[in-house]
Amino acid sequence: MTNVIACIDGTAVTPAVCDYAAWASLRLEAPLILLHVLDKSEYPIESNLTGNIGLGSREALLEELAALDEKRGRLALEQGRLMLEEAQHRVINDGVAAPITRQRHGSLIETLVEMEPDTRLLVLGKHDENLNEHIGSRLESVVRTMHRPLLVTTDTFHPPRRVMIAFDGSETTRKGVEMVAGSPLFRGLPCHLLMIGTDSKANQGQLAWARDCLEAAGFEVHTALRSGDVERALCDYRAEHDIDLLVMGAYGHSVIRRFLVGSTTTSVMRNATVPVLLLR
C-alpha cells in the first residue's frame, strides 16, 4: 500500500480532489496517481447496433452511427487527457514533485480493485446532484467495494486544522483510531473524539482507551460523550468546534454502521461542508 489515488472526472469538484490528494500525498510522503477512467458503458470501444429495430438492413446508417460513436470516444479520451494534464499542473503547483497520470477505458470499480493492492488512500469527490436515495450510486459502489481508506471531498479545498473521529467503541472504530494514531496524515492536528451514547462507565472507558491511544502518538485530544440523534449530534459538534474533517468507520457492526447505511448517511453526506474520511 503505497499510492494516493485521486479520481479525476472533470466536474466542478475536481480541483478540490486534486488539492486534497496533493495535501495527503505530501503528508503521507506517498506517490500521487491522478486517475481518469472513461466508463465503457458511456463510451464503448465498439458499437453493435444491428439489434436495433428497423436498423438491421440500413447499412449506411449503421456505419454512420458507428463512426459517430468512434469519434465521440476519441474526443472523450482526448478530453480526459487534457483534464489529467491540468490536474498534473495543479498538484505540481501544490508541491507534489512527480505526480503520475493514468487513463483507463473500462469500469471505475474494476480499475480501482485492480489498483487496490498498491493503494494507500483513495480520494474521490462528492457530487451533490447525485446524492438522492444513496450516497450517490458510483460513490456508494466504491465505498462498498474497496477496502482502503477513502477520502470523500467537498468542492472547495481547505487544509484541515481540526479532525473529528466519530467513535463508538466497536472493532471498526477502534481500528480507525489506531490507523489515525499510526499515520502521519493528521500528525500535529488537534483531534476530537465524539461518542454518541449514554454516559456510562463502559462508554467512558472506551473513550479513555481511544484518547490514550492518540495521546501516546503525540496528538492533542479532546473527548466528548453525547446522547441523542447521531446525525444531529455529529453536525452540532462539528459546527461548535469548527471541525475541518470527519473520520468514520465504514460498515462496522455498530450504531455507526446503521448511521452509514441508513437514511442518515444521505442527509449527512449531502449537507456535509467538510470532507469525510471513511476507514474500513
| Same domain, yes or no: 205 and 163 | yes
90 and 188 both lie in a single domain: no
Do residues 13 and 124 make contact, with C-beta atoms less than 8 angstroms apart? no
Please name the residue ranges forming H helices in 106-241.
108-115, 137-145, 171-182, 201-216, 230-240
pLDDT at 105 over 70: yes
Q: Which three cell numbers stand for residue 22?
A: 496533493
pLDDT at residue 27 greater than cutoff 90: yes
Residues in the chain: 280
Confidence bin at 269 (pLDDT 50/70/90): low
- Answer whether residue 212 is part of any domain: yes
CATH number for the domain that contains residue 130: 3.40.50.620
Tell me whether residue 68 is in a domain: no
More confidently predicted of 145 and 52: 145
Whether residue 52 lies inside any domain: the answer is no
Task: Examine residue 70 and state whether it is found in any structural domain, yes or no.
Answer: no
Select, from the ranges 46-50, 181-185, 194-198, 265-269, the one with the highest average predicted confidence (pLDDT).
181-185
Average pLDDT of span 160-186: 91
Check whether 36 has a pLDDT greater than 50: yes
164 within some domain = yes
Within-domain flag for 57: no
Indicate whether 30 and 132 sit together in one domain.
Answer: yes
> What was the pLDDT predicted at 232?
84
The residue range of the domain holding 145 is 3-42+76-151
- The model's pLDDT over 70-88, given as tens digits with 9 standing for 90+, comes to 666 666 677 888 899 999 9
pLDDT band at 251 (very low <50, low <70, confident <90, very high): low
Number of other residues whose CB lies within 10 A of the CB of residue 271: 11
Mean of the per-residue pLDDT values for the chain?
82
C-alpha–C-alpha distance, residues 62 and 83, integer Å: 31
Q: 206 Cβ partners below 8 Å, 6+ apart? A: 167, 168, 169, 195
Answer with the one of 97, 116, 151 that is the final residue of a domain. Answer: 151
Query: Rounded CA gap, 16 and 124, in Å?
Result: 10
β-bridge partners, 245: 163
Q: Residue 213's pLDDT is what?
A: 96
Residues 187 and 138 in one domain: no
Strand ranges inside the chain, DSSP E: 3-7, 32-39, 100-106, 119-125, 150-153, 163-167, 191-196, 221-226, 245-249, 276-279
Query: Domain check: are 242 and 109 in the same one?
Result: no
CB atoms within 10 A of CB 185: 23
Q: How many domains does the chain have?
A: 2
Asked whether residue 71 is assigned to any structural domain, the reply reads no
- Confidence at residue 54, expressed as pLDDT on a 0 to 100 scale: 52
Regarding whether 208 and 142 lie in a shared domain, the answer is: no
Reported as a pLDDT band with limits 50, 70 and 90, residue 99 is very high
Distance CA 188, CA 217 (A): 10
Predicted pLDDT at 123: 96
Answer whether residue 5 shows pLDDT above 80.
Answer: yes
Looking at the predicted structure, is the pLDDT value of residue 267 above 70?
Answer: no
pLDDT for residue 45 is more than 60 = no
Yes or no: say if 79 and 10 are a contact pair by the CB < 8 Å rule: yes
Tell me the residue type at 169: G
Residues 175 and 197 in one domain: yes
Last residue of a domain, one of 151, 180, 200: 151
Q: How much of the chain, in percent, has pLDDT values that exceed 90?
A: 51
* CA atoms of 168 and 263, how far apart (whole Å): 19
Distance CA(97)–CA(93), nearest Å, equals: 9
**pLDDT band, very low/low/confident/very high, at 40 (cuts 50, 70, 90):** low
Q: Is 254 found in the same domain as 171?
A: yes
Same domain assignment for residues 242 and 222: yes
Place of cell 466504491: 142
**Residue 247 and residue 272 share a domain:** yes
User: Given this model, what pLDDT does residue 58 score?
Assistant: 62
Of the three residues 122, 151, 180, the one that is the final residue of a domain is 151
Could you tell me if 162 and 132 lie in one domain?
A: no
Rounded Cα–Cα distance for residues 93 and 77 (Å): 25
Percent of the chain with pLDDT over 70: 75
Q: Does 61 map to a domain?
A: no
Please indicate, yes or no, whether residues 7 and 119 belong to a single structural domain of this protein. yes
